[in-house]
Structure 1
Amino acid sequence: MNRLTQVRRLAGVGTRFLIVGGLSTLIEVGVFNLLVYVFGWDLVAAKITASLVALVNAYIGNREWTFRHRDRRSRTSELFWFLLTNAVCTGLGAALVWVGVEALRGILGHAPGAFAVNVVNLFSIGIIVLVRFALYHWVVFRVAPKTVETVQPAETDQPAS
């Protein structure tokens, strides 16, 4: 496969990934705001919960659309790597939100408002999108390794002399 074909294929996968991610982001932001500003949840707990809710959409969309062309390996193995990747990304996202909000609190001298918190949240999502794409592409939904078939000598029906 030549370089241009590889770039086009990666661009197609990346576009589908961004569409699935965009929908997942809308779900995550909606649930995050609902939990924080309607139900009064802690920011980090809301971030983790919202990420987990959006995760369901992300798995189905990425498995069945974005990376559907990949050879499927064991569903158990794929789910393991998907959940591990997303646990790491969720933790990183929550840490980014916490650090960002605390940095704003230090700069402003008071708790930041909803707009600032959402800017920090969206910034964290942007960073996580890049990390997730790399991990989904090369770890979770990777191309199954090609097996090398060994050629066995043909058996003949000739009697031994």
Structure 2
Amino acid sequence: MDFVKRLYERFESLVHELAKFGSIGAIAFVIDTGLYNVFLLGLEWGPLTSKVLATTISATFAYAGNRYWTFRHREQSGLGREYFLFFLLNGIALLFGLLMIGFAKYTLHLHDGLSLNIANFVGVGLGTLFRYWSYKKWVFLEATEPIPVELPESGIKQDR
């Protein structure tokens, strides 16, 4: 058991970061999949248009969750820079989904909702792996200085 404890202590921050990333990702997945099906099956829009719109909305949620919760301990390099890179990388990850859905519909000629959802799930899985790696590498950078847990003392004594 001592080995497991040491192993956990060594990777504790990574485990917590992955848990947070997974939580935000799970909620974004529900938003993405739910909206994809509303657009595809409810409004009867095309599968690629439905995917682009659903991903844009879920990625906006994911940016806020990842910036202000998952990666809040990392350096903040500017909202404009992070936001641009985040959506650029999400656009690349979206290509995985579009390729899977396009392959299912236009190459395999599978037009039913179940087949298109399976293709969507595969694309989301591949895109998630890419997103986690790319966010850590380019968007939410390692802090160059430790980020304080508490606010610094102001030097002014307060009466209690």
TM over 0.5: yes
Superposed displacement of residue 103, structure 1: 4.2
Q: Which residue of 2 aligns with 1:83?
A: 87
Distance 2:107 2:144 in 1: 45
- Map Cα deviations across residues 36-74 of structure 1 (whole Å, 9 max, x no partner): 111111111110110001011101110111001112112
CA 85–28 in structure 1, closer or farther in 2 if over 3 Å, else same: same
CA RMSD, Structure 1 to Structure 2 (Å): 1.9
| 2:108 counterpart SS class | helix
Distance 2:10 2:45 in 1: 45
Superposed displacement of residue 5, structure 1: 4.4
CA 135–3 in structure 1, closer or farther in 2 if over 3 Å, else same: farther
Query: TM-score with structure 2 length normalisation?
Result: 0.79
Q: Which runs of 5+ in 2 are unaligned?
A: 1-5, 146-160
Distance 1:104 1:112 in 2: 9
Is the 2:97–2:119 contact (alpha carbons within 8 Å) kept by the matching residues of 1? no
Residue of 17, 20, 24 corresponding to 2:24: 20
Q: Which runs of 5+ in 1 are unaligned?
A: 106-110, 147-161
Q: Which residue of 2 aligns with 1:133?
A: 132
Is the 2:32–2:58 contact (alpha carbons within 8 Å) kept by the matching residues of 1? yes
Residue of 67, 86, 109 corresponding to 2:71: 67
Q: Between Structure 1 and Structure 2, whose CA radius of gyration is higher?
A: 1
Distance 2:131 2:34 in 1: 20
Distance 1:71 1:12 in 2: 17
The one-letter code matched in structure 2 to 1:67 is F
Query: TM-score with structure 1 length normalisation?
Result: 0.79
Is the 2:96–2:124 contact (alpha carbons within 8 Å) kept by the matching residues of 1? no
Distance 1:130 1:81 in 2: 16
The one-letter code matched in structure 1 to 2:82 is E
Residues matched between the structures, number: 140
- Residues 1-161 of structure 1: pairs in structure 2 closer than 5 A: 5=9, 7-105=11-109, 111-145=110-144
Q: More deviation in 48-57 or 71-80?
A: 71-80
Is the 2:75–2:143 contact (alpha carbons within 8 Å) kept by the matching residues of 1? yes
